[in-house]
Every structure is written in structure tokens, then in C-alpha cells.
Amino acid sequence: MGNAKDLTADLNRIGVPDRVETPLGTFEFFDGVPQPDSTRALYDGLDFVRGIDAFLNAVPGASLVAMRRGFRGVGVDGLNVLAVTDPRANSGSYFLTPNTETAYGTMFIDLRDGPVVIEPPTNSLCVVDDFWFRYVTDMGIAGPDKGQGGKYLFLPPDYTGDEPAGYFVCRTPTFTNWVVFRALDGIEAVKKTRVYRLAEAGAPPEMTFVNVAEETFNTVHANDVSFFGEIDELIQEEPPGSLDAERAGQLAAIGIEHGRPFSPDERLTAILDSAAKTAAGMSRALVYFPRDAEAFVFDGASWKEGFVGGSYEFLRGQARLLDARTQFHYFATVITPAMAHAQVGAGSAYAYTAEDSRGHLLDGAKTYRLTLPPNPPAKNFWSVDVYDTQTRSLLQTDNPYPSLMSLSGTVQEERDGSIVLWFGPTAPAGKESNWIQTVPGKSWFPMLRLYGPLQPWFDKCWQPGEIEESS
């Protein structure tokens, strides 16, 4: 035995001590085997971790389940029923970071009863995402019709019928799909939208338009154990193959599986409730304080962007940016390449921040100023909307439109052409035209939008200032 290798160091590396202290608890082993109490605790920890992963990775689907539920609650349900914001979106409801500048139309289409045709308005920016919030197609200016109008045909999963001529044909992996319409020519243009079954193409039924601008409803997903019920609703409705195997496996591990009832016992319910609340906290950290350097628009500044890396699929090379996907979907909606990677003079660019120039959270009781340098690089217009950090929806103030934009004609410039915007519970004297109200006791965050961003934005030679507290 004199030539035998001493494996003590290897045993220390590959084995497990008799006592292991972790953030999930202290676990005890006998010669590598978990003691009975530790076995139970380890499985509780595994379910907790799986619950966190399931939340973080299923946020996109839960977001659309909650959105559909919210719209159904105000009568937007059915293939020929379109929700519209007339004249524009406001802060009355909970909806993830809408803008107050453009007229919206939105609906869900269900392909279970056969293919569906959509005729979008001309001069529009329209997007279709599947029920897991994955990109299906653009319609309008960024789509194959180039804003001239046309007929888009959506085929359900595993469709084997003929594809008729005269349509832009799209196949989607889910029966339910979300559609958003933005018409640059206003709400009347949105109302020119037509949606109908392919079987009804000879005599399409009339559309019904429901104005949701003055309704009060919630489209934001849960942050407690009921989140998993929202995901189960999606899993039961859609074909098993509509979700990638990895995420499907995470959900199956906590009891959410197609064709099987989701009925967690008291133990698992408590664990999943804690997991959801923990994961919601992690999601908020990712939104407001991301740690990926590519989440920041400018070096040394706090302004952030939603599509980290410029990929609508949240890919960097062959790797999925899991944190970036959660970051975006936890506070925003609409997946399209046109938003993720804007082109000079086309699409839109976004930047947001939740902190002031000293890195402090924005306090609704204080007064702040934001300076935009002269000549904001927007071909069409720029805007700043203010959102509630809790709901990620428009901040509810005395003004249902907590925003400022260049198209208003009321925003005043300084002598040098710069624009100073003010935020606070009351307007500084003489600054009313450049002021957005905030709410004491609440935090908030602004989002700068450039519609038709110009070269100085991409060159980063035009940069918004940091938000500064005003004494």
C-alpha cells in the first residue's frame, strides 16, 4: 500500500461535511447522507429555489395571462372586440409602462377555432406576440406591408391546411396571441382595424370598439402564490410543445404540468408564496439596479435600457440573458426587434432611471430637475412619462397624464436651447409648463422616449443629464 495515493484532499473536495450552513438553513449529514430532518429541509429548500426560478423565468407568460384577465373584466373578449384608448392612455389603471402620447388598440386573438386574419391600419406600428410573450411579427411600418396596409393570416399550432394567396402568413406556437396597434394618425386610424376568421373573409363581421381609457382595471400579474395559478392557466390552455423543455421542466417540478391539476398542499403553498415574494424582490432589483454593464445606456450615468444587449430574444451569442428577460418583462410590454434595436430615424429609443444624481431613490415628496441638452435627437418627437415604482404603471396624480412631450407646444426651452424638466408635489414658481407632479410617500421613475431617434443618440454624443434634487 506504500504506493497508494492519498485521497484525503480529494475527499474534502468531493465530499460533504457533517454540518453545512447555508442561506437556506443548516443541514446535517452522516458520512454524506442527509439526516432525516435535513432531508426534509433540503427538499423544502429545493422547492423554494425551483419556485424562484419558475417565477423569474415565467414572468413573460404571467404578464399576458394577467393582461387578458384585466381586459376581459372590462368587456374586451372576443375576436371582433378591440380595446382602444380614446384619446390616449392615462393613469387610471394598472398597466406596465404605457405611454400617454400615442393612441393604442389592443386585443387577444384565439386560434382554436381556426386561422385569423388581421388588417392593420396604414401608417401604424403594430406587433403580435404569442402567449409566452415571444415575438411573432410586426405589422405596419416595421412589418412586410411597410405601413401601406395588408392582410395578415395567423395559423394555429400544427396547422396542416392550405395557405391561401394574398396574405402575409404567420405561424405561431400558441393558440392565444396578443396584438397591439399603434396608429400614428390617431384613434380614428386605429378604428380602421379589422380582425376576423379566415372562414369569414367573404363577409367579415363588424368590429366592436371598447374605450378603456376611462375604465379602472388591473393587467399586472401577481407577486404572491397566485402567480403560479396564472401560469397554470397558460400551461393548461396551450400545447405542451409551446414552451421550451427547460422552463416546462422547472414548472413541472413544482406541480404545474399540462393535463394535470395544480393543487399544492399546505407545505408547498407556503413555500411557493415565499418564493414568489422573494423572486418579485429579485425582479425589482433587476429593474431598478441591474448589474449587467450593458444595461446602462451611457458610461458613468444611471440611465438604463430595457433590452439589454439589443436582442429581442435576450441573447448574447448562444447564451440566454435570463436576468435581462426578467428585467424587461417585469416592468414593460411588447416584444419586437423594432424596439430592441432601433434604427436611425425609425422606431423608438428608451431610457429610464429610478435614482438621482447621488444614487438615492427618487422621493415623491422632494423636488427634482432634469436637464435635456439642446436639440433632443428625435425625428418625430420626444417624451418623458413618470411611473409608479410599485406598480410599474403610470403614476396616479391630479393629472391623469403624468408626462411631458415636445409635441405639446407648451414645454419651454432655456436660452441655450436646453430643456429643464421639473418633478415634485408642487410646481416651482414659473415652471408649470415643464413640471410633472409626484406624490409624497411614493417613489417614482421617469422614462425618456425618442421617437425616430437620430444619430447623436446612437453616437452617445447627446446625453440626458442626471436627475438632481433641487434645494
Q: Grade residue 200 by pLDDT with cuts at 50, 70 and 90.
A: very high
pTM of this structure:
0.95
Q: Could you give the residue range(s) of every CATH 2.60.40.1610 domain in the chain? A: 77-211
For the stretch 396-409, pLDDT in tens is 999 999 999 998 88
| Intervals of CATH 1.10.3360.10 along the chain | 24-76+228-282
Give the span between the Cα atoms of 221 and 230, in whole angstroms: 8
Average pLDDT over residues 121-143: 95
- C-alpha cell recorded at residue 111: 386560434
At the topology level, CATH places domain 77-211 in: Immunoglobulin-like (2.60.40)
The boundaries of every CATH 2.60.120.600 domain in the chain are 287-469
In this predicted model, what pLDDT tens digit does every residue of 412-464 receive, in sequence order?
999 999 999 999 999 999 999 999 999 999 999 999 999 889 999 999 999 99
Tens digit of pLDDT for each residue in 385-398? Answer: 999 999 999 999 99
pLDDT the model gives residue 408: 87
Distance CA 39, CA 30 (A): 12
402 with 386: CB under 8 angstroms?
yes
Q: Assign domain 287-469 to its CATH architecture.
A: Sandwich (2.60)
Nearest one of 170, 181, 186, 206 to 78, comparing CA atoms: 206
Grid cell of 384 as nine digits: 418623458
Fold of 24-76+228-282: VPA0735-like fold (1.10.3360)
Contacts 24+ apart (CB under 8 A), 332-335: 332/96, 332/97, 332/306, 332/392, 333/63, 333/67, 333/95, 333/96, 333/97, 333/98, 333/133, 333/180, 334/127, 334/129, 334/180, 335/127, 335/129, 335/133, 335/134, 335/135
